[in-house]
Amino acid sequence: MEELYTLEKEVGRGNYGVVFEGRIAKTGERVAIKRLPCKNAECIELYLQELWAMKATAKKHANIIALHNYLLQTGKRSLKPLKGGKLPRHLVESVLKGRVVGRMSQRQERGSRSDSQRRTNSASGLQDRTNTLPSTPKRPPNRTRKRSSQAEDEQPLKCSALWLVMDYCDGGDLNHFLLSRPPDAQRNHDVVRQLSSAVAFLHHLGIMHRDLKPDNVLVSIQPNGPVYKVADFGLSKMSSDGQTDGNLTRKNFSSTCGSDFYMAPEVWGGLTYTAQADIFSLGVMFWAVLERITFLEEGTTREQLGAYVSKGRWLMPLGEALWENADLRLRIPMKSKTATPLPPTPGLAMCSLLSDMLSSDPDSRPPADQLESRVCAALKEDSR
């Protein structure tokens, strides 16, 4: 194992995995370590999508969460680093077949556990200060392998989880970071600039995120100010040919996925859609950030940043409202807000850009490769 990690504490838990705060043992650098249990083919498909996207973007853009390392848990006490850019064959096969392949029988698993208990000189791959966690055992010296490397590759390893080692973001998610502080126009403008740059980079690489929302933007506190990073690529899709030279808008997708308040009208309607659906999601976020528009997450008292249409006592997601009525005119800025304190109302240029991003017609939204320059131009014009 090239690097050893120590788990400090759990910092997040979702439907698919658990995120821990950890450290690189040699340097003490803080990292986030995400454990993704491979319990069924659907989960494995999401994990591989996330891994593929993060490998493509690894450490190439300041506003996208960086992947430092990824490991395969092959047993209760075993972690195997994945090197050379190759993914385990049995994980890919699990996705194709729709079921987990390469599982050990209970007898094999018991034998494996007994064998691992007898190995007292194993190298620890991941350690917890209170509990014993997986380690990578060393092969006893002077033991030769009679099988060829090809035959060995054909022996599928049992995989219980993937571990992703990523940037640690000490500012939490965008909801927590912004709503725990007084409104600040400059901070809001930084969010808009940085996220438009991040999405432009993703689309240039042929990656559509498909779940852009404040919960999936993490904040790293730096000496020169906060850095906002797009994270959680579990629902992302990559074009098969990598870089698209701005043509991702012609790549069609059909799976309905995302989060209600940020989904584009065409996704709500179950139509095929393109990367322009990401631009709509980004528009919802930008409007909410610039005007500090919030709603309560259903069943909780937790505030979320997000724009919406009021229907009496009910709040309707923008995408759903526009799907029902494509001619609906959105009120930008949202004049009915009364909560204080509030940031300054967005200027005319930014309101016009938001209106374009939130168009019911995907082709009327600015493509990502133009969005960043339009954001900067609108903010500059409104500051005069």
Q: What are phi and psi of 6, to 5 degrees?
A: -120, 130
The answer to whether the beta carbons of residues 261 and 295 sit under 8 Å apart is: yes
Q: Is 211 a catalytic residue?
A: yes
Which residues are registered as beta bridge partners of 13?
Answer: 18
Rounded CA gap, 45 and 245, in Å? 26
Of 285, 257, 277, which is closest to residue 202 (Cα–Cα)? Answer: 277
**Which secondary-structure segment (H or E) carries 376?**
helix 368-382
Of 173, 211, 232, 278, the active-site residue reads 211
Going from the C-alpha of 33 to that of each of 43, 67, 70, the distances in angstroms are 18, 10, 9
Going through the chain in order, the beta strands assigned E by DSSP cover: 5-13, 18-24, 30-37, 67-75, 78-81, 126-128, 161-167, 207-208, 217-222, 225-230, 237-238, 294-296, 303-305, 308-311, 314-317
* Cβ pair 304, 313 in contact under 8 A: no
Helix, strand or coil, per DSSP, at residue 205 = coil
Catalytic site positions? 211
